[in-house]
Structure 1
Amino acid sequence: MNKTLKMTDILALGFMTFAFFLGAGNIIFPPQAGLAAGENLLPAMFGFLATAVGLPLIGIIAVAVAGGGWNGLTRDLPPKVATLMAVLIFIIIGPAFAAPRTGLVAYEMAVKPFIADAGQMSLTIFSVVFFAVALFFAWSRGKLIDMIGKFLTPALFAVLAVLAVAVFINPQGDILAAQGDYANMAFTKGFLEGYNTMDTFAALMFGMLIVDVIRKKGVTDEKATCTYLIYAGVIAAAGLAFVYISLFYLGATSSAVAAGADNGGAILAAYVQALFGPVGQMILSAIVLLACLTTAIGLISACADYFSSLTKLSYEKWAVILSVVCGVVANVGLNQLIALSIPVLFALYPVAVALVALTFVRGKMANPRLGYRLVLLVSLLFSLIDAAKFMGIDVSALNILPLFDYGMAWVLPTLAALVVSFFIGGSEQAEARTA
């Protein structure tokens, strides 16, 4: 019998999705952007929200429209290409980069300030404990809603709400003039900075995981599953917008207490200290620790779920393997892995954005199979230019490309390919649409 979710379960599902997205990077980045935006706070913030909230929400909806899984999103691609693309995304966003970073950032911002002689041993011990706790929560996918959505996330949101209210009631400084690109292109700068959060990747990963959680709650109807997934995305987007707005305002009013701060973490720490005094570090530690933990749980769960579908190893075994790998990577060579991972992200992120866009226009294509290949190939080829530029390779000869200076040379060629895909391959229209 198909079950329906109660309102409390739907809210818990949305809170869980919100917690999966909200990692430490999402918390410490907006204050820096807010400080630089200054008096141009509003246009910069709306630009940031468009890509840091809008794109992930659209990604979640795309997963729902495609039937809740990677196979639906990539049904018009060769199976081996679709699998390779998914594996690369899961490795980069999972054990190679994002998941280990949650443990490292949690240690640096939430635990290390309380340790007098912090060293490698303390980091190792913390990593073991942190990823053991993440594994405990990730072990049972069916109970993720109850454990995260009903307990961890409300605690995280409550602490963030206290901080947000304090920021608006008692701002710690005046809003100054905009700096750098925020002075004359605030919306565009905010838009580009939000794009760099890479949360569209996470949307594709978490969308599949959330569908699995919904089905383990007894919901079998595809339409109901799609509806609940969209509800979860909307709730998560609202939560993220609330956090980003408050943190942007925090950054914009931080000039008096965060003078000389060179990153969002330092700005946030100084502001919280000014607002709450000695207890401020405890509040900040609670925010960062809960945010990192819930994101680590989501990443481990999503990766284990996908890799178990490709191999004979069970979800539980993959969860253990991934937790161990994350603990190791959090201790050794993380900086090198970041340097290796970022060019890959530059190359793959535009492809993920293009894939999401294709999901919504598939029905208008003359030949979806041909159209998908054309659009994704164009987005990949031009995004490789941006990746090469980041790696220090001289590609200045291509600076005639629109948006080249912004690291978005792929945008207009991809749009052009998308338009062309509406008209080519019409003779195979029936075969493509029914495949």
Structure 2
Amino acid sequence: MKRSNIIFAGFMLFSLFFGAGNLIFPPLLGMEAGDGFGPAIIGFLITGVLLPIMAIVAVALSEDGLVSMGQRVHPVFGVAFAVIIYMSIGAFYGIPRASSVAYELGFKQIFNVESSLVLAIFSIVFFGITYLISLNPKKIVDRIGQYLTPLLLLVLSVLVVRAFFTFENPGAPAAEKYTGSPLVTGILEGYFTMDAVAALAFGIVIINALKDKGAETKGELVKGTFGAVLIAGLGLVAVYFSLGWIGRVIPGGSGLEDGAEILTHSANLLFPAAGGLLFGIIVLLACLTTCVGLISACSRFFNEIYPNIAYSTYAGIFVLIGLLVSNLGLDLILELALPLLVFIYPIAIVLIVLSLVERVTGESRKMYQAAVFVTAVYALYEVLISIGIESETVSLLLGQTPFFEQGLGWMVPAFIAGAAGYGIDRYKGRAANGKKRKPAVQFNDDIK
């Protein structure tokens, strides 16, 4: 397999992760962390970069990707959870969110117009372009990795390089939430990007892209995936650090409330005549590449599950869903999607970690079942809290675990439950080191 194909696949993976949400998180962290910027950005990179990379690797090492990861809990759970992941992070959230953010933070920055008719026209044009780029999945690496990603990086570099030579570090105290432990707060901020869920969806894109570029064996596929995630990871580290640093040193940032305002203000300071245009182009490119990746991921997944419907038909369906949902408005999309994402994200992280741990410990079904069950209990209660339903008794009971107040109360109980499940299987002789399970679902490798 050519090294250039791995490089372009890495560029593509970088662009798939680097959506508008990822664009605006680091600057706000930089501004709020103040003198604690160093440990805060390190924490952010742990969960905002390392965790998604672990997810891609876990998908690549699994026999049939995300489905087989879930089938270690139960065959039905494997398929059902994968469908939920692709429909939630893709069709009903990620895809319409990308379009809405592109309109709110990109298009309106350039043209300064707003109406329901303009939003509808923009959505049609945006999804029309997305559909055309997504139509041939074998060309995704070429179109994103060779063209869109370099263009995005070029425009970002103009902003970042100018900021490095213009802004000075004034030194500022940290916001209250960063005063205690900026590293832990940074970890939580990276966690809340929920990129690990997106990584599970993007896994199929990078794997099939490498297959299309000549990866014929499992070894070549794994090697290509490691190369691509290394390139994407280094790119994300560099960009996140740079954007966070801009938030850290931007002058006159005390009245700014979010990352979008910070970057817009910095663009206007650095390029008074074209700041809005520059920021708008960055947002549009970031949202376009993410949307293309999500549509391709969802379409390829469902084409493999049910190949009687052509890939192009699935792409059209997801484009149509995205077009309709995006016109509901960004605030409503986020409000409707939050409870579902709060539920699936902890379970997804547990599956990722266990899939990698299993490479060392060997297979153990009870390890998966116990860890996922306990995690689901905590995640379900977090969903109830997110919609305003909270029990003082249940909170008192579950709240005894570490990090419960931060929404991470599931971590320690999941670890204990997983260890107990593994111990039970070992005791009964069911944990098999090095033994590979036959996948319950066979996928079709060809795009119809």
Is TM > 0.5 for Structure 1 vs Structure 2? yes
Q: Secondary structure at the match of 2:378?
A: helix
Single out whichever of 335-344 and 21-30 deviates more from structure 2: 335-344
The 5 A counterparts of 1:122-133 are 122-133=118-129
**Quick one: distance in 1 between partners of 2:63 and 2:233?**
21
**Quick one: distance in 2 between partners of 1:280 and 1:333?**
25
Q: How many residues align?
A: 430
Q: Does 1:411 align with 2:406?
A: no
Residue in structure 1 matched with residue 172 of structure 2 by the alignment? 176
CA contact 2:67–2:82 (8 Å) conserved in 1: no
Single out whichever of 62-71 and 174-183 deviates more from structure 2: 62-71
The Cα offsets for residues 52-104 of structure 1, whole Å up to 9 and x where unpaired, read as 00101111111122246223323423221111111111111111111111111
**Quick one: distance in 2 between partners of 1:386 and 1:314?**
38
Q: Does 1:119 align with 2:115?
A: yes
Q: Does 1:81 align with 2:80?
A: no
Q: CA 1:228–1:208 in structure 2 vs 1: closer, same or farther (change >3 Å)?
A: same
Residue in structure 2 matched with residue 63 of structure 1 by the alignment? 59
**Quick one: distance in 2 between partners of 1:315 and 1:134?**
15
Q: Does 1:271 align with 2:271?
A: no
**Quick one: distance in 2 between partners of 1:203 and 1:321?**
22
Single out whichever of 292-301 and 113-122 deviates more from structure 2: 113-122
The Cα offsets for residues 88-147 of structure 1, whole Å up to 9 and x where unpaired, read as 111111111111111111111221134354211111101000011111111111111111
Residue in structure 2 matched with residue 386 of structure 1 by the alignment? 382
Q: Does 1:18 align with 2:20?
A: no
Q: Does 1:281 align with 2:276?
A: yes
CA contact 2:68–2:78 (8 Å) conserved in 1: no
Q: Does 1:361 align with 2:366?
A: no
Q: CA 1:220–1:423 in structure 2 vs 1: closer, same or farther (change >3 Å)?
A: same
Q: Structure 1 residue 173: deviation in Å?
A: 5.8
CA contact 2:130–2:291 (8 Å) conserved in 1: yes
The Cα offsets for residues 4-61 of structure 1, whole Å up to 9 and x where unpaired, read as 2x22211111000000000000001111111110111001100101000010111111
Q: Does 1:139 align with 2:135?
A: yes
Q: Does 1:206 align with 2:206?
A: no
The Cα offsets for residues 393-435 of structure 1, whole Å up to 9 and x where unpaired, read as 2233333232111111101101112222331123342679453
Single out whichever of 225-234 and 393-402 deviates more from structure 2: 393-402
CA contact 1:343–1:391 (8 Å) conserved in 2: yes
Q: Secondary structure at the match of 2:91?
A: coil
**Quick one: distance in 1 between partners of 2:206 and 2:112?**
41
**Quick one: distance in 2 between partners of 1:61 and 1:431?**
21
Q: Secondary structure at the match of 1:406?
A: coil
Q: Secondary structure at the match of 1:81?
A: helix
Q: Secondary structure at the match of 1:37?
A: helix
Q: Secondary structure at the match of 1:84?
A: helix
Match of 1:34 among 23, 30, 36: 30
Q: CA 1:424–1:335 in structure 2 vs 1: closer, same or farther (change >3 Å)?
A: same
Percent identity for Structure 1 against Structure 2: 35
CA contact 1:366–1:421 (8 Å) conserved in 2: no
Q: Which amino acid aligns with 1:269?
A: T
Q: Secondary structure at the match of 1:258?
A: coil
Residue in structure 1 matched with residue 218 of structure 2 by the alignment? 222
Residue in structure 2 matched with residue 397 of structure 1 by the alignment? 396
CA contact 1:167–1:250 (8 Å) conserved in 2: yes
Single out whichever of 354-363 and 118-127 deviates more from structure 2: 354-363
The 5 A counterparts of 1:238-257 are 238-254=234-250, 256-257=251-252
**Quick one: distance in 2 between partners of 1:340 and 1:425?**
40
**Quick one: distance in 1 between partners of 2:8 and 2:360?**
36
Residue in structure 1 matched with residue 303 of structure 2 by the alignment? 308
Q: Structure 1 residue 200: deviation in Å?
A: 0.5
**Quick one: distance in 2 between partners of 1:208 and 1:321?**
19
Single out whichever of 401-410 and 38-47 deviates more from structure 2: 401-410
**Quick one: distance in 1 between partners of 2:326 and 2:363?**
45
CA contact 1:56–1:199 (8 Å) conserved in 2: yes
Q: CA 1:244–1:68 in structure 2 vs 1: closer, same or farther (change >3 Å)?
A: farther
**Quick one: distance in 2 between partners of 1:228 and 1:49?**
23
Q: Which amino acid aligns with 2:384?
A: A
Q: CA 1:415–1:431 in structure 2 vs 1: closer, same or farther (change >3 Å)?
A: closer
**Quick one: distance in 1 between partners of 2:19 and 2:213?**
26
**Quick one: distance in 1 between partners of 2:298 and 2:53?**
20
- TM-score, structure 1 as length reference: 0.95
Q: Does 1:292 align with 2:287?
A: yes
CA contact 1:37–1:186 (8 Å) conserved in 2: yes
**Quick one: distance in 1 between partners of 2:97 and 2:124?**
14
Q: CA 1:428–1:156 in structure 2 vs 1: closer, same or farther (change >3 Å)?
A: same
Residue in structure 1 matched with residue 446 of structure 2 by the alignment? none
Q: CA 1:394–1:50 in structure 2 vs 1: closer, same or farther (change >3 Å)?
A: same
Q: Secondary structure at the match of 1:151?
A: helix
Q: Secondary structure at the match of 1:113?
A: helix
Residue in structure 2 matched with residue 429 of structure 1 by the alignment? 430
Q: CA 1:430–1:191 in structure 2 vs 1: closer, same or farther (change >3 Å)?
A: closer
**Quick one: distance in 2 between partners of 1:87 and 1:215?**
23
Q: Secondary structure at the match of 1:168?
A: helix
The Cα offsets for residues 257-307 of structure 1, whole Å up to 9 and x where unpaired, read as 333221110111001100111211111111111100000000000011112
Uncovered stretches (5+) of structure 2, i.e. residues with no partner: 438-448
Residue in structure 2 matched with residue 160 of structure 1 by the alignment? 156
CA contact 2:110–2:276 (8 Å) conserved in 1: no
The Cα offsets for residues 204-240 of structure 1, whole Å up to 9 and x where unpaired, read as 1111111111112232111101110111111111111
CA contact 1:103–1:330 (8 Å) conserved in 2: yes
- TM-score, structure 2 as length reference: 0.92
CA contact 2:72–2:368 (8 Å) conserved in 1: yes
Q: Which amino acid aligns with 2:253?
A: A
**Quick one: distance in 1 between partners of 2:127 and 2:253?**
32
Q: Secondary structure at the match of 1:159?
A: helix
CA contact 2:10–2:232 (8 Å) conserved in 1: yes
